[in-house]
Amino acid sequence: MSNFNVIKLNAIPSTSDYLKNQYVQGACSDGDLVWASDQTAGRGQRENPWESRAGLNLTFSVYKEFKEIDLNNIFLISKVTSIAMAEALMVLGIPQVKIKWPNDILSCDKKVGGILIENIVQKARLKATIIGIGINVNQVDFPGLTQATSMAKITDQLFDLEKVFAVFRATLGAQFEKCLMQNANTLQDKYLSYLWKKDEKVHLYNEKETFVGVLRGVDNWGCIQVEREKGKVFTYASHLFRMDYKS
């Protein structure tokens, strides 16, 4: 299992930004993990804010060096992290866990967590990755966020954050260890088994267009594969289209 150097802090703007600042100062080591009780300016995909109540949820970031991973297969990091989160939630008794492309973790079709992958590339090589993780644990109200839920809301029970963190840390470490040893097809099959709406109709949209297609998969670059016409599959990057929660 991967070893983590856990750094627990009370209140900081962002655990990922904290690690980036440490990296710039030459103060990061492989496996550094920053866990904040209160993340006051957390970020999600596309710089969206991550709303999290102090002391009720799990927000942490990991600095990890994946020197063996080629830039052409960089989505592997997101796959492995997503699988780890899904498996940790299932260990904790959370039902119907799925991965919603590109970076949300769902339970019962609602968002219970998310990840933010930020890669550090130097001279066309992957130097390191900062993985930000947020899990809604004991927060039960999410004003204005109709698709948000939490472990407590789903199960009608409160959780010990230390125990929840221990499960996520262990599962993430185990997945990091296995990711480079697993057959690529085996890992892809496991990821697709968790993929929300696989082989079902999905709504994709951007500022100019909305369309419905059948979700067929996600490629090694993290691009979604959607069948828009019978037998014709198109590929889209996450910065071009978003996936709606509509069925």
Q: What is the pLDDT of residues 44-58, one digit of tens each?
A: 544 555 556 778 999
- How far apart, in whole angstroms, are the C-alpha atoms of residue 170 and residue 194? 20
Residue 43 has pLDDT above 80, yes or no: no
Residue 221 has pLDDT above 50, yes or no: yes
How large is the average pLDDT for residues 114-118? 95
Residue 181 has pLDDT above 80, yes or no: no
Q: Quick one: 176 and 56 in the same domain?
A: yes
Q: Quick one: 94 and 43 in the same domain?
A: yes
Q: Quick one: 210 and 190 in the same domain?
A: no
Q: Quick one: 167 and 227 in the same domain?
A: no
Q: Tell me, what CATH number does 233's domain have?
A: 2.30.30
Domain count, the chain: 2
For helices 75-91 and 161-179, angle between their N-to-C axes, nearest 10 degrees: 140
- C-alpha of 31 from chain center: 17
Q: Tell me, what's the pLDDT at 215?
A: 97
In this structure, of 12-26, 143-157, 172-186, 196-210, the range with the lowest mean pLDDT score is: 172-186
Q: Quick one: 205 and 188 in the same domain?
A: no
239 is written with which tokens? 């910065």
Q: Tell me, what's the pLDDT at 242?
A: 93
Dihedral sign (CA 52, 7, 114, 242): positive
Range of the domain at 226: 201-243
Q: Quick one: 10 and 43 in the same domain?
A: yes
In this structure, what are the phi and psi dihedrals at residue 163, rounded to the nearest 5 degrees?
-70, -40
> To the nearest whole number, what is the mean pLDDT of the chain?
91
Q: Quick one: 226 and 178 in the same domain?
A: no
How large is the average pLDDT for residues 194-200? 97
Q: Tell me, what's the pLDDT at 46?
A: 46
Q: Tell me, what CATH number does 152's domain have?
A: 3.30.930.10
Helix extents (H) in the chain: 15-24, 75-91, 151-155, 161-179, 184-194
Q: Quick one: 186 and 207 in the same domain?
A: no
Q: Is 216 exposed, middle or buried (0-12, 13-18, 19+ CB in 10 A)?
A: middle
DSSP H/E element including 226: strand 224-229
Q: Tell me, what's the pLDDT at 231?
A: 84
Residue 1 has pLDDT above 80, yes or no: no
**End of a domain among 179, 194, 209?**
194
Chain segment 83-97, per-residue pLDDT in tens = 999 999 999 999 999
Q: Quick one: 151 and 239 in the same domain?
A: no
Bridge pairing between strands 110-122 and 125-135: antiparallel
Chain segment 229-247, per-residue pLDDT in tens = 888 999 999 999 999 987 6
Measured from the Cβ of residue 89, the count of other Cβ atoms closer than 10 Å reads: 25
- How far apart, in whole angstroms, are the C-alpha atoms of residue 8 and residue 2? 18
- How far apart, in whole angstroms, are the C-alpha atoms of residue 87 and residue 77? 15
- How far apart, in whole angstroms, are the C-alpha atoms of residue 187 and residue 166? 24
- How far apart, in whole angstroms, are the C-alpha atoms of residue 196 and residue 96? 10
**End of a domain among 174, 194, 214?**
194
Q: Quick one: 162 and 236 in the same domain?
A: no
pTM, two decimals, is 0.91
Q: Which residue has the higher pLDDT, 184 or 35?
A: 35
Q: Tell me, what's the pLDDT at 229?
A: 85
Q: Tell me, what's the pLDDT at 183?
A: 79
How large is the average pLDDT for residues 56-85? 92
Dihedral sign (CA 180, 197, 167, 63): positive
Q: Which of 67, 74, 69, 81 is nearest to 33 (CA)?
A: 81
- What percentage of the chain exceeds 70 in pLDDT? 94
How large is the average pLDDT for residues 7-16? 90
- How far apart, in whole angstroms, are the C-alpha atoms of residue 179 and residue 58? 24
If you average pLDDT over each of 40-44, 119-123, 128-132, which comes out highest? Answer: 128-132
Q: Quick one: 9 and 52 in the same domain?
A: yes
Q: Quick one: 85 and 152 in the same domain?
A: yes
